[in-house]
Amino acid sequence: MAVKEIEIILSRQLADCLNIPIFLVDPNGDLIFYNEPAEQLLGKRFEDTGPMPVAEWAVIFKPRDDHGNLIPPENLPLVKSLSLKIPAHGSFWIENIQNKTKHALSVTSLPIIGQANRFLGALAIFWENKQS
Partner 1 sequence: MKVTFWGTRGSIATVGAQTQLYGGNTSCVTVSDKDTLLILDAGSGLRVLANQGFHKQFKHIHILLTHLHIDHIQGLGFFNLFFDPDAEIHLWGPPSSNTSLRARLNRYLSPPLFPVRMRDFNCKLHIHEVTQDQFIIEGFVVNSNFVLHPGPTLGFRISDGQKIVTFIPDHEPALGNPKFAIDAEWTSGYALAKSADLLIHDSSYSEKEYKSRRGWGHSAMHHALLFAELAGVKRLELFHHDPSHDDDELLRLFHHHVDGKWNFEVHLAIENSVIDL
Which residue ranges make up the site for partner 1 (CB under 8 A)? 1-6, 9-10, 12-14, 16-17, 114-118
Q: What are phi and psi of 33, to 5 degrees?
A: -160, 145
Whether the Cβ atoms of residue 41 and residue 106 lie closer than 8 Å to each other: no
Query: What minimum distance in Å lies between the beta carbon of 83 and partner 1?
Result: 23
Q: Which is nearer to partner 1, 87 or 114 (CB)?
A: 114
Q: Which is nearer to partner 1, 24 or 78 (CB)?
A: 24
Query: What minimum distance in Å lies between the beta carbon of 61 and partner 1?
Result: 25
Indicate the SS3 state at residue 11. helix
CA distance 31 to 52: 5
Whether the Cβ atoms of residue 104 and residue 71 lie closer than 8 Å to each other: no
Q: Which is nearer to partner 1, 18 or 70 (CB)?
A: 18
Which H or E run includes 15? helix 6-17
Query: What minimum distance in Å lies between the beta carbon of 22 and partner 1?
Result: 14
CA distance 88 to 13: 22
Q: Which is nearer to partner 1, 16 or 56 (CB)?
A: 16
Query: What minimum distance in Å lies between the beta carbon of 82 and partner 1?
Result: 20
